[in-house]
Amino acid sequence: MATSPREPLVRAAELRNLLNKASHAYYVLDKPFLEDAVYDRLYRELIDLEAEDPFLSTPDSPTQRLGGPPAEAFIKISHRLPLLSLDNAFNFEELSSWFLRVEKAITKGKSPSSDNPILKMVGELKIDGNSLALSYANGLLVRAATRGDGTQGEEITSNVRTIDSIPLRLHLKNPPAWLEVRGEAFIPETIFSKINNERAKYGKELFANPRNACAGTLRQLDPQIVASRQLDFFAYTVHLPKEWIASKSDPKKPTEQWQALEWLKIAGFKVNPTSKLLKDLTAVQAFFNYWEVERKNLQYATDGIVIKINDFTLQDKAGVTNKAPRWAIALKYPAEEAPSKLIRLTYQVGRTGVVTPVAEFEPVLLAGTKISRATLHNANRLRELNLHSEDTIVVRKAGEIIPEVIRVLKELRPQTAKLLELPQQCPECQSALIREINAAATLCINQSCPAIIRGALRHWVSKGAMNIDGMGSKLIEQLVSRGLVKSIANLYELDEALLSSIDRMGSKSAKKLLLALNQSKSKPWQNQLYGLGINHIGEANAKALANSFPTASKLSCIACQSPELLTSIFGIGKEIANSLEQWFSNPKNQELLVRLRSVGLSLEEKNADLSLESKDKQNSALPFQGKTFVLTGTMTSLSRHQAKNLIEEAGGKVSSSISINTTYLVKGEKPGSKLKKAKALDTTILEEEDFKNLLSLMKQS
């Protein structure tokens, strides 16, 4: 992230203040307010500033210590061996640089040989939990502590004893006099969902994420509460006395990290089964890429991988800094949240007249793609954010796809910043904007507004509606700006001479477009209905309405005179019914329907004589009637569009998001976050083959 144009001294002070507050909130108050990915980016920015100018580094800088102080409610104890943190790499270039540094330190610049071995590594998932230090004396667990500041932690032995995956006695015949085991405590996703659901029932504040829940649990003064939350633990490091020699029945003292993981398993610890021995950086990259996708199917959170030099002797040669081992590094997955600097606030006017504020910011890399803008929805959201000019904002990808601004880091706001609000006039036509009482949206109600006309045209010609090939956004822009098209009906009044006068539109292109326009007149009534752009009417709802009301006249009559009857249709609620009533009650929209008929649009189904009663009877017999499906991942034998059609033909509804009303989740390859939510809600999950079998059974019945 680019540094602020303000003086580095000021920016460094602001970052120190914010990061120290974040550390205190996380380690002491158990109330984190800064996500790990955001903290990492801001921490990296501070490191870079201090690297450029060492005088910016102060004793209170978070770069000068490993973590926060222990909570006052627990006894402070010193670790036998320091709990060092890990340096981070955010891409393979940084990982390669780390590897070259380690190789140089170990080999003293010489090429690999029998005396100078190739550096094998161990790859482990970076579990998003809480580090623990376990101390054993003669095979018995005698003490457990949190990381704390790396040298001192919080003594939480009674709580850790409740974790079933931590052995109270080592599975060794001749255990050493002392033993230190390091690992990560965590809460599985399913348990986390149950905890939050339970807290919601009693009106308690929800945990922000599993790591937050785990930290809060480990600091409970009542071990029974800890036991009820079913924490889990993965061990990943063991420290043994130099003089200890294993008996014949015990595993030999490990000399490598890979051996250490096996040793821990034999000694009774739970070790993450995903760990892998890696021979080179190519293998590391493959390991990283594999788990970047597959981690979504795990029952615990992970935000990267940890790479360690395998050989302990080589680890000793590489050494450590005062904060981290040189022989290990964490390679983070692309951040799903990141800080950025606001550049400006712009405004978009949609086809329904809704004015949406859009934040434009310095580009950031999120989930593998670079983004630089995000919508802020409405005036309410803008007010909630309290957005000012030059603010530092936190951005994430909602649902792993849509960029959104989740909050502002007010601590980094310049004193000269100005509050940003929606304008009073439409940014397109300068008409006065309105906002109805209790409504979130701010509207331009000028139906001649160029932005509204452009939006209506783009929607009408889109693939899900009339699918008019050749009518792109640039052509629509020219037609509207020149006043040649003022409604969707005008499209069908264009001629070859007029179209040929448009920039980059020759006679051949004009003829092709006119043919596409003429062919679109025969599109089914459901496509025409969807293309009208009525608020809340998507493709699925348009299809359901067209099945029940085979002509625009019948739908208009019911919507205006008996809108309550609309809600009897599966998927049509009160909000949609109200939207239909408002649209068909508008005289200008009725005029549009008349004009569309005059240019050749039917606005009805071909078999329009089928009565509503017979349609309802037919629909009620469909096997998936009343069932809601959600699709995730890629299917091998069906496209998503084909699967959707099959479901709708059987009377079902396809939704884009998981909820308590979802009947089935159909899972393909590489599923997204919907799978995790479906598991949390106990939604029935169908593999592709299960889905096809269900279709066959339903058809047979």
What are the catalytic residues?
126
Residue 431 DSSP one-character state: P
Give the DSSP H/E element, type plus range, for residue 640. Answer: helix 640-649
β-bridge pairing 76-78 and 152-154: antiparallel
| Tokens representing residue 690 in the block | 């299960």
| Tokens representing residue 579 in the block | 């939207």
In sequence order, the β-bridge partners of residue 570 are none
| Tokens representing residue 251 in the block | 């595993």
Alpha helices in 2-91 (DSSP H): 8-27, 36-52
Q: How many CA atoms lie within 13 A of 125 on its CB side?
A: 24
β-bridge pairing 328-332 and 302-309: antiparallel
Other Cβ atoms within 10 Å of 203 Cβ, number: 6
Q: How many CA atoms lie within 13 A of 57 on its CB side?
A: 11
Question: Who's near 264: CB < 8 A, 6+ residues apart?
Answer: 181, 235, 236, 238, 271
Rounded Cα–Cα distance for residues 305 and 135 (Å): 26
Helix then strand then coil, % of the chain, to nearest 5:
40, 20, 40
Q: Is 603 helix (H, G, I), strand (E, B) or coil?
A: coil
Rounded Cα–Cα distance for residues 133 and 80 (Å): 9
Rounded Cα–Cα distance for residues 160 and 141 (Å): 10
Closest C-alpha among 390, 385, 392 to residue 407: 385
In sequence order, the β-bridge partners of residue 403 are 397
Q: How many CA atoms lie within 13 A of 435 on its CB side?
A: 15
CB-CB contact of 431 with 442 (8 Å)? no
Give the DSSP H/E element, type plus range, for residue 372. Answer: strand 369-375
Distances (CA, A) of 391 to 38, 114, 413, 517: 15, 56, 5, 47
Give the DSSP H/E element, type plus range, for residue 473. Answer: helix 473-481
Rounded Cα–Cα distance for residues 70 and 398 (Å): 34
Rg from Cα positions in the chain: 31
Rounded Cα–Cα distance for residues 328 and 305 (Å): 11
Closest C-alpha among 536, 537, 503, 496 to residue 518: 496
CB-CB contact of 667 with 675 (8 Å)? yes
Rounded Cα–Cα distance for residues 328 and 102 (Å): 9
Residue 28 DSSP one-character state: T
Residue 657 DSSP one-character state: S
Rounded Cα–Cα distance for residues 623 and 611 (Å): 21
| Tokens representing residue 574 in the block | 């009160």
CB-CB contact of 265 with 102 (8 Å)? no
Rounded Cα–Cα distance for residues 139 and 423 (Å): 70
